[in-house]
Amino acid sequence: MDQQVTNRGSELVFLPLGGAGEIGMNFNCYGYGPPEERAWIVVDCGVLFGRETSTPGVDLIMPDTRFLEEVRSDVLGIVLTHGHEDHIGAVAHLWPKLRCPVFATPFTVKLVQHKLEEAGLEQRVRITPVPLGGRIKLGPFSIEFVSITHSIPEPNCLAIRTPAGTVVHTGDWKIDPDPLLGRVTDDSRLRHLGEEGVLAMVCDSTNALVNGESGSESEVKRALVRLIGSLKGKVAVTAFASNVARLESIADAARSAHREVVLVGRAMRHMVSCARDTGYLRNFPAVVDEEDAAQIPADHVLYLCTGSQGESRAALARIAAGEHPNVSLGEGDTVIFSSRIIPGNDLEIFALQNRLAAKGVTVLTERDHFVHVSGHPARDELAAMYSWIKPKISIPVHGELRHLTEHARFARELQVPRAIVATNGQMIRLSPGEPQIVDETPFGRLHLDGRVLVHEEDGHARGRRSLSFAGFAAITLVLNRKRRLAAEPVFYMEGIPPAVEEAMRDAVFGVLGEKIRDELDEDVRIAARRAANEIWGKKPVVRVKLVEV
């Protein structure tokens, strides 16, 4: 099929299965063809991190792909825009369900391959490196990778050409005139696409509520050089390991302050190694091993650490807890958080900073020093992008609803004829005719719960969450054949205060002292919950089982 073939009956549709209505778990599907025999491509395949509040015990959340699995033979490929976890983190988990080729630029390939190796899938998955600025063709989709800037090497905007028109899928981006590492935004190519004519732009909404511009990595570098140059004692800097340009800025700042760089934390070493393997960080200084770092005088060392989000197992948390084997910080030392607070992580991060403060360490953050810029476009950058691409349709993605709706409102202000807010599972027909939501696919989420992949709707995390609110009680009643108690009731009570436990036991014995009915188990359950509620104001989950001997 190519552009000469008539597209009578064919439709171009966009279907987000993740990332539209939330930040994270990006998973975007494009379909082309008649409804019954569409060819599909998937753009990005990311995860969301589980949260103790909403999904206790769940590490990763990813889209439920059952819709695509049903048309698996028509899924032509997974195309990755860049290497952040919320864009690539689900590949190793979902690929076995889709089994299609994967395409990405070399740095992203490197990161994905490592994940596939960990999952033992490296022999099975065909992953094709695409050069920067390269093109691939997948059935009716011709996909051009256009270099852009973000907060990781090799971010790409995709120009997806189809017989029904071109869609520009921006991926995550900003306009950084001096990104320090890799290419600048290829704005001439983007303008050219706009001149060619673009049907729709599917665009990053993360900072649609932020006025102005995101700022350049080069400005952060200058500030870091000044700041680190002014410090005495040991200096530790924590940053997102995937922001390789930032790592280089920090290393340069260290060098100009006559400090040696020590990489602390597995992700930090891994990311530097991946960057070097793909041709980046050629001037990165030789790093000192953690084990040897203790030998360096305090004024001549800089630790580059994982753990900017307060993650309990990351390097900085272990240092703050005094549990790191090779790095210790104390009075007179400084930790710089060259990062932002990801929503939901504030209390963990503050707890980490408090532990550092308790040791006498000075903590500097983006609140008090210019040590971070966002990787996503603020409104002036969005305006520039719309002026280049001039799409007929704007589809905001990569954001919560408040970001998507504001992005759509802004796009309309910028004279984009149509802006459509769709959330995960809503299928938008882009062509032919007026763009509109034409279908709702079954949308759901998968939880990586421990090592087991389960459906969110099966409710294991939700069930555990309710245990955490009011605890759990189980009661086993052993009856003989005459339905009389053959032993003392067995009680299990978890997370229930003693006074409440006692009231529940009394209530159970009360029921057992009466005439035993057929519904004994239910009678006991209700009595126990009612007793708890009376004294406690909360009802634990209660299970009752009868055993006959």
Binding to its own copies (CB under 8 A) within 184-213 occurs at: 209-211
Determine, following the binding rule CB under 8 A, whether residue 425 of this chain makes contact with its own copies.
no
* Segment lying near its own copies (by CB under 8 A), choices 104-112, 286-294, 383-391, 530-538: 530-538
| Distance in Å, CB of 24 to its own copies, minimum | 12
| Distance in Å, CB of 486 to its own copies, minimum | 5
**What whole-number distance in Å separates Cα of residue 231 and Cα of residue 248?**
19
Rg (CA), the chain: 28
Among 438, 454, 516, 526, binds its own copies (CB under 8 A): 454
Secondary structure in 3-state letters for 2-42: CCCCCCCCCEEEEEEEECEEECCCCEEEEEEECHHHCEEEE
Q: What are phi and psi of 370, to 5 degrees?
A: -85, 80
For its own copies, the closer of residues 132 and 491 by Cβ is: 491
Among 11, 186, 260, 406, binds its own copies (CB under 8 A): 406
For its own copies, the closer of residues 350 and 370 by Cβ is: 350
Peptide bond into 35 cis (omega under 30): no
Determine, following the binding rule CB under 8 A, whether residue 378 of this chain makes contact with its own copies.
no
Whether 447 and 461 have beta carbons less than 8 Å apart is answered as yes
Whether 201 and 395 have beta carbons less than 8 Å apart is answered as yes
Among 298, 374, 476, 483, binds its own copies (CB under 8 A): 476
**What whole-number distance in Å separates Cα of residue 4 and Cα of residue 101?**
26
**Residue 457 amino acid letter:** E
**What whole-number distance in Å separates Cα of residue 308 and Cα of residue 350?**
11
Among 120, 131, 297, 343, binds its own copies (CB under 8 A): 343
| Distance in Å, CB of 76 to its own copies, minimum | 32
Determine, following the binding rule CB under 8 A, whether residue 474 of this chain makes contact with its own copies.
yes
Determine, following the binding rule CB under 8 A, whether residue 374 of this chain makes contact with its own copies.
no
Residues 32-61 that bind its own copies (CB under 8 A): 51-54, 56-57
- The string of DSSP codes covering 420-446 is ----TTEEEEEESSS-EEEEE----EE
For its own copies, the closer of residues 36 and 331 by Cβ is: 331
* HSE-up (13 A, CA, CB side) for residue 214: 30
For its own copies, the closer of residues 31 and 307 by Cβ is: 307
Among 163, 242, 471, 511, binds its own copies (CB under 8 A): 471
In terms of Cβ atoms closer than 10 Å to its own Cβ (0-12, 13-18, 19+), residue 65 is: buried
Residues 219-258 that bind its own copies (CB under 8 A): none
**Residue 393 amino acid letter:** I
Distances (CA, A) of 185 to 48, 175, 176, 218: 27, 6, 7, 15
For its own copies, the closer of residues 21 and 179 by Cβ is: 21
Among 468, 514, 519, 522, binds its own copies (CB under 8 A): 468
| Distance in Å, CB of 408 to its own copies, minimum | 10
Determine, following the binding rule CB under 8 A, whether residue 313 of this chain makes contact with its own copies.
no
Collapse the DSSP code of 161 into the 3-class scheme (helix H, G, I; strand E, B; otherwise coil) and give the result. Answer: strand
For its own copies, the closer of residues 37 and 548 by Cβ is: 548
Binding residues for its own copies, total number by CB under 8 A = 73
| Distance in Å, CB of 282 to its own copies, minimum | 38
Among 232, 313, 367, 412, binds its own copies (CB under 8 A): 367
Determine, following the binding rule CB under 8 A, whether residue 500 of this chain makes contact with its own copies.
yes
Among 212, 322, 497, 510, binds its own copies (CB under 8 A): 497
Among 71, 287, 363, 516, binds its own copies (CB under 8 A): 363
Determine, following the binding rule CB under 8 A, whether residue 419 of this chain makes contact with its own copies.
no
Task: Give the tokens for residue 370.
Answer: 């210019």
Residues 82-121 that bind its own copies (CB under 8 A): none
Whether 55 and 446 have beta carbons less than 8 Å apart is answered as no
Determine, following the binding rule CB under 8 A, whether residue 507 of this chain makes contact with its own copies.
no
Determine, following the binding rule CB under 8 A, whether residue 321 of this chain makes contact with its own copies.
no
For its own copies, the closer of residues 117 and 548 by Cβ is: 548
| Distance in Å, CB of 85 to its own copies, minimum | 19
Distances (CA, A) of 78 to 27, 38, 238, 397: 10, 16, 32, 18
**What whole-number distance in Å separates Cα of residue 386 and Cα of residue 395?**
12
Among 495, 510, 514, 519, binds its own copies (CB under 8 A): 495
Determine, following the binding rule CB under 8 A, whether residue 381 of this chain makes contact with its own copies.
no
Collapse the DSSP code of 187 into the 3-class scheme (helix H, G, I; strand E, B; otherwise coil) and give the result. Answer: helix
Question: What's the sign of the alpha-carbon dihedral 354, 356, 360, 363?
Answer: negative
Dihedral through CA 30, CA 31, CA 32, CA 35, nearest 10?
A: -160
| Distance in Å, CB of 530 to its own copies, minimum | 14
Determine, following the binding rule CB under 8 A, whether residue 530 of this chain makes contact with its own copies.
no
